[in-house]
Amino acid sequence: PFTGLGKHENGILEPVTLIGQRGTQALGCQSYEKVDVEEEFKP
């Protein structure tokens, strides 16, 4: 839910990536979302 909102809006993806790594199995869609977000802000 917060992934689509704080994907790359400002800096909300920071907590999203943390929760994504720990809530990968809990959310499911975070498993690939976290990689997409990290790659966006990871040079």
CA 22 to chain centre: 11
b/e per residue 29-43 (b: at least 16 CB within 10 A): ebeebbeebeeeeee
Is the pTM for the entire model greater than 0.95?
no
Q: How many CA atoms lie within 13 A of 40 on its CB side?
A: 18
Q: Is the pLDDT of residue 18 over 50?
A: yes
User: 29 and 3 in contact (C-beta within 8 Å)?
Assistant: yes
Q: Give the mean pLDDT of 5-30.
A: 50
Residue 32: helix, strand or coil by DSSP?
helix
2 has a pLDDT exceeding 50 = no
Structure token pair of residue 26: 């809990």
